[in-house]
């Protein structure tokens, strides 16, 4: 399997492509991979670039060192707010809205399956980033921590939306209101994690899941994600209408025809994304 590095424009974010998997690594381990302007700008660019790459079938997002992401860098946030002290409040709001859409919303809407890999804690907006992904694998020593109330803020990057839909509004409110830590075993029981494994097994568990996804038909995966994202915000009739549309379109692809032949010939299909 070939691996190639992709230049992101900053050491705060690393990118490589291994086989059909694009791996983005938040790379500020000394700050528990807290956001920096360079990191978030690069993340927005690399999400767009890898999404447009036909060779990429699955995206893996992780953090360097022993953390996934600590969210906003409090020291950096203080400097940023100080520099923008004279900016009107509506402009500050719009700036944050643009950042949220460029990173968190773009990750949720990413046309291919996404996996968040948590070597350690995901806190604040970092937790929201993990929840924006389709699937989550964590070291069993990791945890999800909202961490907003403790620093006098209410939360951003879609965390309240993601968490409410994953565990229900009452549980989500409790987590945010109390700021309590959700350890990996509880997160697994609540459905916030797909898998929790010993830290030494995290790389192999991630590879197995990414490889299993990448082996499927790319156009079918895209349609599946569209269906499931629609399902959580729509009614049954509308969801079924979309499923019918995507199902027929998939049945007309070369990949479906090739898979049918492979099934009849009792062999594995080779998908081309056509």
Q: What is the pLDDT of residues 54-107, one digit of tens each?
A: 999 999 999 999 999 999 877 655 555 555 667 898 999 999 999 999 999 999
Q: What is the pLDDT of residue 76?
A: 59
Q: pTM for the whole thing?
A: 0.92
Average the pLDDT over 190-197 and give the result: 96
Q: Is 122 within 8 Å of 152 (Cβ atoms)?
A: no
**How sure is the predictor about 254, in pLDDT bands with cuts at 50, 70 and 90?**
confident
Q: Is 242 within 8 Å of 219 (Cβ atoms)?
A: no
Rounded-to-integer distance, Cα 4 and Cα 98, Å: 30
Closest CA to 247 of 239, 109, 66: 239
For domain 218-264, say whether CATH 1.10.12 is its number: yes
Q: What is the pLDDT of residue 11?
A: 97
**How sure is the predictor about 270, in pLDDT bands with cuts at 50, 70 and 90?**
confident
Rounded-to-integer distance, Cα 160 and Cα 172, Å: 7
Q: What is the pLDDT of residue 84?
A: 62
Q: Where in the chain is the domain with CATH 1.10.12?
A: 218-264
Q: What is the pLDDT of residue 147?
A: 87
Q: What is the pLDDT of residue 50?
A: 97
Average the pLDDT over 4-19 and give the result: 95
Q: What is the pLDDT of residue 201?
A: 97
Exposed, middle or buried by CB within 10 Å (0-12, 13-18, 19+), for 264?
exposed
Q: What is the pLDDT of residue 18?
A: 93
Fold assignment, 3-214: 2-enoyl-CoA Hydratase; Chain A, domain 1 (3.90.226)
Q: What is the pLDDT of residue 75?
A: 67
**How sure is the predictor about 2, in pLDDT bands with cuts at 50, 70 and 90?**
confident
Tell me the CA distances in angstroms from 71 to 32, 108, 117, 229, 248, one per residue in order: 9, 17, 15, 24, 41
**How sure is the predictor about 265, in pLDDT bands with cuts at 50, 70 and 90?**
confident
The overall average pLDDT reported for the chain is 92
Q: Where in the chain is the domain with CATH 3.90.226.10?
A: 3-214
């Amino acid at each position: 399997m070939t691996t190639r590095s992709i230049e992101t424009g900053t050491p705060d974010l690393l990118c490589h492509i291994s086989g059909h998997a694009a791996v983005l690594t938040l790379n500020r381990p000394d700050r528990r991979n807290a956001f920096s302007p360079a990191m978030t700008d690069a993340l927005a660019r690399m999400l767009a670039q890898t999404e447009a790459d036909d060779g990429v079938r699955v995206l893996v997002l992780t953090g360097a060192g022993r953390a996934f992401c600590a969210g906003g860098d409090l020291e950096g946030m203080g400097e940023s707010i100080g520099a923008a002290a004279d900016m009107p409040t509506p402009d500050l709001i719009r700036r944050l809205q643009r950042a949220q859409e460029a990173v968190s919303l773009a990750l949720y809407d990413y046309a291919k399956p996404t996996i968040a890999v948590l070597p350690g804690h995901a806190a604040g907006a970092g937790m929201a980033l993990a929840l924006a992904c389709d699937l989550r694998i964590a070291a069993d020593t990791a945890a999800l921590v909202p961490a907003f109330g403790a620093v006098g803020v209410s939360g951003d990057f879609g965390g309240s939306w993601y968490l409410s839909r994953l565990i229900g509004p009452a549980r989500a409110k409790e987590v945010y209101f109390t700021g309590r830590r959700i350890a990996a075993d509880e997160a697994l029981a609540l459905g916030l994690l797909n898998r929790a494994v010993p830290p030494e097994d995290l790389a192999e568990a991630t590879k197995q899941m990414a490889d299993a996804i990448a082996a499927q038909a790319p156009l079918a995966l895209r349609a599946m994600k569209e269906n499931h994202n629609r399902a959580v915000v729509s009614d049954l009739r509308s969801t079924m209408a979309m499923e019918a549309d995507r199902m027929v379109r998939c049945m007309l692809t070369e990949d479906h025809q090739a898979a049918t032949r492979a099934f009849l010939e009792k062999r594995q299909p080779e998908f081309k994304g056509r």
